[in-house]
């Protein structure tokens, strides 16, 4: 359970950022954002004035929100007539997260609060969340340890001839029994992920909508990501890339399995991924610039003659090598071209150098790390090597 | 795979609705909407002029979209400079689905297309989708049959003392092996669902954010829905409410299981749910008014002395008894107070009368039906009775 102190610190950080931008208050209405600040993920709207006490207005379930909420003023959502009186008239400029709020919601609040100016606080909201507290780092370590336990069991059920889908089902079954909450929250407008990917051989290399190196073929054009019904053959790389979600905190990791032996070309690409990870982790320190980390990794891929295979199918390569994780799978920072921000201690990042070799398969590594003065702290502490069965 | 003819019919329906409203075209950008009209769920934007040929502009993956798309003009997404030239200057009024499009997307297209007026076509979009074609009804029947196969297996693995979570994990494992695609699409702003619910006894009656009769306690305040870590005791109702998703098409059903005997009060409530379902199904015909169906069901609950237990924990009751299903779990129509629209043949609706008896548990029934001249056609064709083990 989130603590009162955590909630207070988060709200103070938001209020500081609001004041620095001359914003008079924020309406937090996206569910996971409400949870982050209040400790309850019910259907509710949080009003955070730039100064003073926040107010949580609950639609459903009120009784549950009252039990969980760390906000002193937690009340039923008022009628549209009563709502405006709860937002002080002095609050002329109000922040909303334009990245996730549908136009209908925006218009609804605009109608209830005429004469106010709404401004986008998406970036501020994401930046606050990117840096984890000591309490959150403990949650992330716990999530990492529990996800590793499931990966450790994989040799018990990976069998030649089973479909990617069967491997996914067996993995997901154990993941759920280990307590993973399953629903993967993503913030980007057009992204979807069902827990993770169990994909193999050339099928794994199918390009897709997913903003990552690997999408998988999936089961139909309607759900074109993750495991397919293809059978897993000996001698081909089986890429298992899954999230584990515990108390809302997501970690993300990938390991490669093979029944029998792997093609030397794939092994060499895998070793390059490990070398890239090693260099990135050594530099995962406060002050390192996101973009530079990515460019350095891309240079290593190029040095190994694998530029066109790096982070995607040739011609559809993603230009990133790592993404923030926490309550959402796509948090800040992003180790990608165009991201000039320096890392900060306490950020948690999934690093995932991967290579797509058309016709052969996909290999690579992924671990979730925390940024520390001494470099990346590995939160998914399991050996990185290819597991041969 | 979606057929060319299906895609064409859908686009013709949209164009007809656009013209009837003097809207010059629509930008379809929400992924499942893009899939519905084009047959591909890649990251893409579909331009549908009120008259003339549609155009699909693809961000990622272009190669996959080209393979799957049923739109003749399928091309790479252009630069922001080139984009405006692709949307005819005569198109002054452009439709967008304000229900799901974030403000940032709205502003992005507004900036690229200055001087155009954007209008909300959410309702039109949902209404088109609500009525299924013969091809879609076949998909829904197939989804129903496959989900029933998984429910049929439940007695093989339900054991006293297992946690709700273990039951969920075992069910989900078989559901995935049966080919369910897993990711449940919901349109409402603040809703989330991970496949379904396996909940029991008093724990099942926990109120929650979910816009349904049952939410379950879940595993943490961050993921407050679905199975909890509570053990399943003999003599208590085990409610298994799951979605099955095949080629994108969702069906939704609920059955009650019990190890041993069930309290007569719960049995009586269950029988009332069956009677309500029977009456609703007899009236699930074109022309029946959604709201009236709900009110008649509520009157039956009241007649049985169960008004306060109907469709939710006492005091937090939902005012609906059925919801459209298809590519999303929360499609139109809704059998709820305030919905005055008449049913149309080809709509597919999950009917789910349920009763929450605090301290005892939750009982009820849910099946997915198609609206036909002869009343509801049951798509989830499995016996309705409580399964005693």
Tell me how close the Cα of B10 comes to any Cα of chain A, in angstroms: 16
Tell me the C-alpha distance between A335 and A56, whole Å.
35
Query: A319 pLDDT band (50/70/90 cuts)?
Result: very high
* Residue B240: alpha-carbon gap to chain centroid: 17
Break chain B into its structural domains and give their ranges.
4-128, 131-388
Query: A257 pLDDT band (50/70/90 cuts)?
Result: very high
Per-residue pLDDT of B226-259, as tens digits, reads 999 999 999 999 999 999 999 999 999 999 999 9
Mean pLDDT over each residue of chain A, to the nearest integer: 97
User: At which residue do the structure tokens 């349904």 appear?
Assistant: B212
E strands present in chain A: 25-28, 43-49, 55-60, 74-76, 93-96, 117-120, 196-200, 238-246, 249-258, 320-324, 331-336, 348-351, 354-357, 361-364, 367-370, 377-378, 387-388
Query: What pLDDT score does B18 carry?
Result: 98
Return the exposure string of A239-276: e unless at least 16 CB atoms fall within 10 Å of the residue's CB, then b: bbbbbbbbbbbbbbbbbbbbbeebbeebbebbebbbbb
Return the exposure string of A33-57: e unless at least 16 CB atoms fall within 10 Å of the residue's CB, then b: bbbbbbbbbbbbbbbbbbeeebbbb
Cβ contacts of A61 on chain B, cutoff 8 Å = 207-209, 215, 313, 316
Query: What pLDDT score does B191 carry?
Result: 95
The single-letter DSSP state of residue B205 is: G
Cβ contacts of B223 on chain A, cutoff 8 Å = 41, 181-183, 245, 248
Query: What pLDDT score does B384 carry?
Result: 98
Query: What pLDDT score does B372 carry?
Result: 98
- Domain B131-388 fold: Creatine Amidinohydrolase (3.90.230)
Q: Do B165 and A174 touch (CB under 8 A)?
A: no
Per-residue pLDDT of A193-216, as tens digits, reads 999 999 999 999 999 999 999 999
Residue from B42, B58, B102, B196 whose CB has the most chain A CBs within 10 Å, to mutate: B102
Per-residue pLDDT of A100-112, as tens digits, reads 999 999 999 999 9
Per-residue pLDDT of B25-45, as tens digits, reads 999 999 999 999 999 999 999
Tell me how close the Cα of A282 comes to any Cα of chain B, in angstroms: 32
Nearest-CA residue of chain A relative to B212? A60
Output the CATH code of domain A4-129. 3.40.350.10
Tell me if residue A362 falls in helix, strand or coil. Answer: strand
Question: Average of pLDDT values for A310-331?
Answer: 96
Using alpha carbons, select from B225, B273, B243 the residue that is nearest to residue B384.
Answer: B273
Query: What pLDDT score does B234 carry?
Result: 97
The single-letter DSSP state of residue B24 is: -
The tens-digit pLDDT sequence of chain B (389 residues) is 899 999 999 999 999 999 999 999 999 999 999 999 999 999 999 999 999 999 999 999 999 999 999 999 999 999 999 999 999 999 999 999 999 999 999 999 999 999 999 999 999 999 999 999 999 999 999 999 999 999 999 999 999 999 999 999 999 999 999 999 999 999 999 999 999 999 999 999 999 999 999 999 999 999 999 999 999 999 999 999 999 999 999 999 999 999 999 999 999 999 999 999 999 999 999 999 999 999 999 999 999 999 999 999 899 899 999 999 999 999 999 999 999 999 999 999 999 999 999 999 999 999 999 999 999 999 999 999 999 99
Tell me how close the Cα of A107 comes to any Cα of chain B, in angstroms: 9
Output the CATH code of domain B4-128. 3.40.350.10
Nearest-CA residue of chain A relative to B169? A173
Q: Do B222 and A247 touch (CB under 8 A)?
A: yes
Ramachandran bin of A202, using left for φ above 0, alpha for ψ from -120 to 50, beta for the remaining angles: alpha
Residue from A222, A317, A327 whose CB has the most chain B CBs within 10 Å, to mutate: A222
Query: What pLDDT score does A297 carry?
Result: 98
Tell me the C-alpha distance between B342 and A169, whole Å.
41
Nearest-CA residue of chain A relative to B68? A221
Per-residue pLDDT of A324-344, as tens digits, reads 999 999 999 999 999 999 999
User: At which residue do the structure tokens 């990042």 appear?
Assistant: A349
Return the exposure string of B13-49: e unless at least 16 CB atoms fall within 10 Å of the residue's CB, then b: bbbebbeeeebbbbbbbbbbbbbbbbbbbbbbbbbbb
Query: What pLDDT score does B287 carry?
Result: 98
Query: What pLDDT score does B319 carry?
Result: 94
Q: Do A169 and B166 touch (CB under 8 A)?
A: no
Q: Lowest mean pLDDT: which of A46-50, A118-122, A212-216?
A: A212-216
CB atoms within 10 A of CB A61: 25
Query: What pLDDT score does A266 carry?
Result: 98
Tell me how close the Cα of A188 comes to any Cα of chain B, in angstroms: 10
Nearest-CA residue of chain B relative to A215? B61
What value of ipTM does the predicted structure carry?
0.97
């Amino acid at each position: 359970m989130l603590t009162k102190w955590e909630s207070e610190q988060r709200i103070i950080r938001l209020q500081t950022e609001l004041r620095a931008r001359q914003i008079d208050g924020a309406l937090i209405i996206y569910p996971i954002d409400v949870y982050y600040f209040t400790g309850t993920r019910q259907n509710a709207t949080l009003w955070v004035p730039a100064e003073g006490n926040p107010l949580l207005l609950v639609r459903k379930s009120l009784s549950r929100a009252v039990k969980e909420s760390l906000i002193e003023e937690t009340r039923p959502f008022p009628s549209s007539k009563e709502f405006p009186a709860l937002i002080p008239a002095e609050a002329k400029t109000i922040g909303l997260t334009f990245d996730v709020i549908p136009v209908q919601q925006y218009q609804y609040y605009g109608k209830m609060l005429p004469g106010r100016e709404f401004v986008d606080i998406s970036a501020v909201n994401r930046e606050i969340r990117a840096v984890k507290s000591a309490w959150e780092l403990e949650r992330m370590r716990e999530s990492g340890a529990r996800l590793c336990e499931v990966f450790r069991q994989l040799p018990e059920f990976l069998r030649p001839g089973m479909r990617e889908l069967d491997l996914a089902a067996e993995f997901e079954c154990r993941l759920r029994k280990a307590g993973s909450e399953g629903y993967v929250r993503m913030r980007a407008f057009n992204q979807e992920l069902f827990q993770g990917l169990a994909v193999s051989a050339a099928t794994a290399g199918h390009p897709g909508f997913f903003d990552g190196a690997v999408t998988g073929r999936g089961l139909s054009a309607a759900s074109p990501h993750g495991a397919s019904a293809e059978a897993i053959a000996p001698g081909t790389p089986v890429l298992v890339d899954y999230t584990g979600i515990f108390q809302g905190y997501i970690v993300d990791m990938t390991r490669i399995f093979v029944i029998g032996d792997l093609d030397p070309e794939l092994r060499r690409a895998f070793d390059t991924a490990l070398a890239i990870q090693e260099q990135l982790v050594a530099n995962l320190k406060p002050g390192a610039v996101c973009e530079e980390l990515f460019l350095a990794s891309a240079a290593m891929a190029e040095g190994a003659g694998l530029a066109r295979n790096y982070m995607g199918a040739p011609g559809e390569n993603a230009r990133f090598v790592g993404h923030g994780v926490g309550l959402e799978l796509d948090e800040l920072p992003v180790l990608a071209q165009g991201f000039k921000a320096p890392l900060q201690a306490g950020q948690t990042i999934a690093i995932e150098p991967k290579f797509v070799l058309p016709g052969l398969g996909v290999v690579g590594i992924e671990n979730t790390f925390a940024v520390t003065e001494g470099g990346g702290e590995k939160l998914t502490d399991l050996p990185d090597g290819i597991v041969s069965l």
